[in-house]
Structure 1
Amino acid sequence: MNTVVDNGLAPGPESYSAAPLIEALRRILPAHCVLFREEDTRPYECDGLPLYRCLPAAVVLPENEAQVCEVLKLCKRMNVPLVPRGAGTGLSGGALPHARGVLIGLSKLNRIKRVDSEACVAVVEPGVRNLAISEAAAPYGLYYAPDPSSQIACSIGGNVAENAGGVHCLKYGLTVHNVLRVRMVTIEGEVIELGSEAPDAPGVNLLSVFVGSEGMLGIVTEVTVKLVPKPVCAQVVMASFPSVEAAGKAVTQVIAQGIIPAGLEMMDRPSVHMVEPFVKAGYDLDAQAILLCESDGTPEEVAHEIGRIEAVFRAAGSTRCQVSGSEAERLKFWAGRKNAFPAAGRVSPDYYCMDGTIPRRHLARVLTAIEQMEDDYGLRCANVFHAGDGNLHPLIMFDSNKPEEVERADKFGAAILELCVQVGGTVTGEHGVGMEKINQMCVQFTRDELETFTAVKRAFDPPMLLNPEKVIPTLTRCAEYGKMHVHGGEMMFPDLSRF
């Protein structure tokens, strides 16, 4: 994608010079840890959402916690914005640099410090890849449960920043449910710890405030995560349905029956046709929607639960149910779901992955609305998502070489998010707000709520230098967007009554 969208972070007057900042950084860090030439900083101009691009004044790559502390102290002293970056796989522009600021990459803090098989915890630095934690824990029969589709590349520090989930978050929870302790550095360069390896920690629960704060409150330098025993047995039911309505009903009924699967994912017909030629997972090309529902536990528990799931699916109108007969087949079923994003790259020059969450009972309504929006905006959209917890991931396909398509894709995405809010959901489930959804924050929250969010940030970051101008919109921005949720009045939505 090569289109640049104005992100409001223009460099400003030509007279601005980063030379004093770069000189100061090189006094506290080794020369190879400070990047400032354009050819060196260009790879950091965006994260996984290249709709927004901006070159930072400098990129620093600290090699230890002490260096992180010194960078923060310097940025505060010089009043320089600071943006943290993990592996750069985020999809909301959360790691978009500031033109006059420092981007601090944490990829060199990549040690697994300790795996404690008795306490079932791992202590890792923020640059450790998500999947690497499970690989290190595997000899002990343990693994780290949250598994985003990008787990082979995404880092645990980024997972903490965005409160990442994955296909198994329905049963095992998001990052916030699997992190016990975080060691972080404040804007003053002070190291503090939030949480504890014990079941609870004294004082206010600031750990839950920090996880998902998108780099606005401090910089992670160490994370203690919970490990869980690897299930003895796991199987997946792959079920076909004649309509998204029938599939949505099946999702609701599974949960209503008291079944909490390890994973419950939905793919609509366009996504199935996009993925199957790429992965050859054995998906039913005649289905209007398919569900992947996994059960794990002992062989007896799995057999019993799989039987109940199949019965629910058949009662909801499933036309085909196939249970994985081996571990290889189970992984093949999931490979299709986890490779949906790269599969989109085979059928479209570009795609825009949205991330909204809705009550499960509205799945059919929202998917039908998205199908109608395809006609409104003249763009194709495939839906693949965490159906069990209502976390949608519509993939809007467009060509970034056509500016009018970029604009339509942006408006299409905004309409989906605002529909999510209208039916009682939220603008994000696991990708974060970043730059992408900052306007939709004006739709979801009142003026008083946004001011409270700002007060929390200011308590951690008084000079407001950490990842500024993202996540929490200003009231002026909301007024300009024209969608402010006015206290005591009606929330303003686009006309979505036909949906």
Structure 2
Amino acid sequence: MTTPISVPAERRRQVAGALRARLPAHVANSVVLSDPEDTRPYECDGLAAYRQLPMIVTLPTSEEQVLEILEVCRELKVPIVPRGAGTGLSGGALPIADGVVLSTARLNRIVKVDAYARTAVVQPGVRNLAISEAAAQFGLYYAPDPSSQIACTIGGNVAENSGGVHCLKYGLTVHNVLRVRVATIEGEIIELGSEALDAPGLDLLAVFIGSEGMLGVVTEVTVKLVPKPAVAQVIMASFGDVITAGNAVASIIAAGIIPAGLEMMDRTSVRMVEPFVHAGYDVDAAAILLCEADGTALEVAEEIARMTAVFEGAGATAIAVSQSEAERMRFWSGRKNAFPAAGRISPDYYCMDGTIPRKQLARVLQGIEQMEQTFGLRCSNVFHAGDGNMHPLILFDMNQPGEFERAEAFGAAILALCVEVGGTITGEHGVGMEKIDSMCVQFGRKELDAFFEVKRAFDVPMLLNPDKAIPTPHRCAEFGKLHVHGGALPFPELPRF
């Protein structure tokens, strides 16, 4: 947990005055917020356990204003934290005490929807779901659908390379963005990618997507749109234990089936969601899988039949298939509301994000069960099971001394296990502040130095979202003193599997 730092009022007035002086007089006060009561709503993102009151918040309404803000910050050597809707879960938008938060919330215009090219050009403050709403009249939609899609913005999705329940078939943000327009720390506009199938030179678009605001500020995004399927149905399969359910996931993929979505929820998750959403879940199951087929009526009917046969062969205890669009949406609403539903059974929760090979699902779930005993905390598990992206929800009470620290240690142990089985410490939430120490587990010093060199290529003064995502040598050294003993693997106090 962070310890908030105060900034001298004189420094705040100096920077705020310089910013206002560079902006048109009639908008300066509304674009630059410096009073603590105005900046308080920006002190954290979705990882609310980490808080820091920002020195200044800026709310530009145009690309030109973004460039002016970046130029002033570069001249005064003030760090900048880009921010979207603040729905991120890794502390990527956590303010820096003596820095400026640059919010893109007011850059919220849908520039155009091209039904023939199947693209949309939008500003970064446009909500994820709003893109699909604008494209619906053409029978199109934007495929990546994070659980926060009603609120999260496309600029933040680009920063974190967000996914969603349909990313197995349709891909993450990186697979659905064609071009981004970026304001650099040098006050220039560059365009990465192209609306064509390829762009000249190195693929810097893929480098930029998922860079967590460390390389530049997004001012415009061109996304791919896909046709809305004629039919979609969801299977809800129940299982008597999580290991059997995990093996069933591998069986679906091994059968050559690529579902539109394949999600897993354990009993704890199901029982906290069902009274909240009334999704029709099997509360007696140890785990359920939600598996969607979409396409033409014939394609869906054939795929549902194949998936049903695989689940039955894998040991499903019950199978239900959605019989209407309303029922399909109800099945998904339970999964998408898993995080808020956690508040029904626990005062606080800590949402993790790691990715593992599908064949390791059962092993990792067993490991998490043992860790519950080690750390004395409950854990509810939800997964983008089809691509191995797991979201354990560690349940704790912030009012109980030491519980948050145990939750953090529990989360770090889960991430270390992900790395041990051949996975990664994040799938779609990013590193931010939350997982920066776990980067020391996954990567060696040479790799981390290479990451810093990429950042310096875009941000020579190192002012864009500094001290996030990539740990310094000093930080890794301090982390190693705590968690590596005599050259042993990280977290030797935990049972090995």
The verdict on a shared fold, with TM-score over 0.5 as the criterion, is: yes
2:5 to 2, 10, 13: 10
Match of 1:283 in 2: 281
Partner-residue secondary structure (3-state), 2:212? coil
Contact 1:265/1:388 (8 A) holds in 2: yes
The question of 1:21 aligning with 2:15 is answered: yes
1:132 is matched with 130
Q: Which amino acid aligns with 2:5?
A: A
Tell me how far apart the structure 1 counterparts of residues 64 and 260 of structure 2 sit (CA, whole Å).
40
Q: CA deviation at 1:485?
A: 11
Structure 1's 260 and 218: CA in aligned 2 closer, same or farther, altered over 3 A? same
Q: Please tell me the residue identity of whatever aligns with 1:6.
A: T
Which amino acid in the other structure matches residue 356 of structure 1?
Answer: G
What letter corresponds to residue 265 of structure 2 in structure 1? M
Report if the CA contact (8 A) 2:413-2:491 is conserved: no
Describe how 1:218-229 pairs up with structure 2 within 5 A. Answer: 218-229=216-227
Once the two structures are superposed, residues 201-244 of structure 1 have per-residue CA deviations (whole angstroms, 9 ceiling, x without a partner) of: 00110000000000000000000000000000000000000111
Q: Describe the superposition over 1:37-78 as per-residue Cα deviations: whole angstroms up to 9, x where unpaired.
A: 110011000000011111111000000000000111111111
Partner of 2:479: 481
Query: Partners in 2 of 1:64 and 1:226 — Cα distance?
Result: 24
State the identity as a percent: 70
8 Å CA contact 1:442–1:483 kept in 2: the answer is no
Match for 2:243 among 238, 242, 245? Answer: 245
Aligned to 2:150: 152
Counterpart-to-counterpart distance in 2, 1:132 and 1:359: 33
Q: In the aligned structure 2, how far is the partner of 1:39 from the partner of 1:121?
A: 40
Structure 2 counterpart of 1:36, from 34, 37, 46? 34
Separation (CA, whole Å) in 2 of partners of 1:403 and 1:464: 37
TM-score under structure 2 length normalisation: 0.97
User: How far has the Cα of 1:403 moved from its partner?
Assistant: 3.0
Q: How does 1:230-241 map to 2 (within 5 A)?
A: 230-241=228-239
1:412 aligned partner: 410
Q: Using the TM superposition, name which of 395-404 and 338-347 deviates more.
A: 395-404
Distance in 2, Cα, partners of 1:341 & 1:480: 32
Unaligned runs of 5+ in 1: none
Give the letter for the 2:314 counterpart: A
Q: List aligned pairs for 1:485-496, cutoff 5 A.
A: 492-496=490-494
List runs of 5+ in structure 2 lacking aligned partners: none
CA contact (8 A) 2:416 2:490 kept: no
Say which SS state the counterpart of residue 218 (structure 2) adopts.
strand
What does 1:204-215 align with in structure 2 at a 5 Å threshold?
A: 204-215=202-213
**Secondary structure of 1:439's aligned partner:** coil
Between 363-372 and 205-214, report the one with greater CA deviation. 363-372
| Per-residue deviation, residues 169-218 of structure 1 (Å, max 9, x unmatched) | 00000000000000000001100000000000001100000000000000
> Is the contact between residue 168 and residue 260 of structure 2 (CA under 8 Å) also seen in structure 1?
yes
**Counterparts of residues 16-415 of structure 1 (less than 5 Å):** 17-29=11-23, 30-415=28-413
Q: Are the aligned partners of 1:269 and 1:285 in contact in 2 as well (CA < 8 Å)?
A: yes
Counterpart residue identity of residue 376, structure 1:
T
Asked if the contact 2:483/2:491 (under 8 Å) is kept, the reply is no
Secondary structure (helix, strand or coil) at the match of 2:11 reads: coil
For residue 491 of structure 1, report the CA deviation from its aligned partner: 5.6
Q: 1:35 Cα shift?
A: 0.6
- The structural deviation recorded for 1:286 is 1.1
* Residues matched between the structures, number: 491
Distance 2:244 2:10 in 1: 59
Amino acid at match of 2:31: C
Give the secondary-structure state (helix, strand or coil) at the position aligned to 1:393: strand
Q: Which amino acid aligns with 1:422?
A: E
Quote the residue 2:422 is aligned against: 424
Task: Check whether the contact 2:431–2:468 (CA below 8 A) recurs between aligned residues.
Answer: yes
Going from structure 1 to structure 2, the CA distance change for 1:485 and 1:402 (only over 3 Å counts) comes to closer
Is the Cα–Cα contact under 8 Å of residues 447 and 485 in structure 1 kept in the other structure?
Answer: no
CA distance in 2, matches of 1:22, 1:250: 57
Aligned-residue offset at 1:376: 1.3
Which aligned pairs between 1:445-464 and structure 2 lie closer than 5 A? 445-464=443-462
CA distance, structure 2, for counterparts of residue 292 and residue 450 of structure 1: 37
Moved over 6 A (4+): 483-486
> For the residues of structure 2 that align with 1:207 and 1:238, how far apart are their CA atoms?
37
Q: Distance in 1 between matches of 2:482 and 2:446?
A: 11
Does the CA contact (< 8 Å) of 1:355 and 1:430 recur in 2? Answer: yes
**CA offset digits 1:328-387 (Å, max 9, x no partner):** 100010010001011101111111100000011111111111111111111111001100
Residue type matched to 2:289 in 1?
A: L
Amino acid at match of 1:21: V
TM-score, normalization: structure 1?
Answer: 0.96
What is the Cα-based RMSD across aligned positions, in Å? 1.5
What CA deviation, in whole Å up to 9, does each residue of 1:362-416 have, x standing for no partner? 1111111111111111111100110000001001111112231111111111111
Structure-1 separation of matches of 2:205 and 2:488: 34
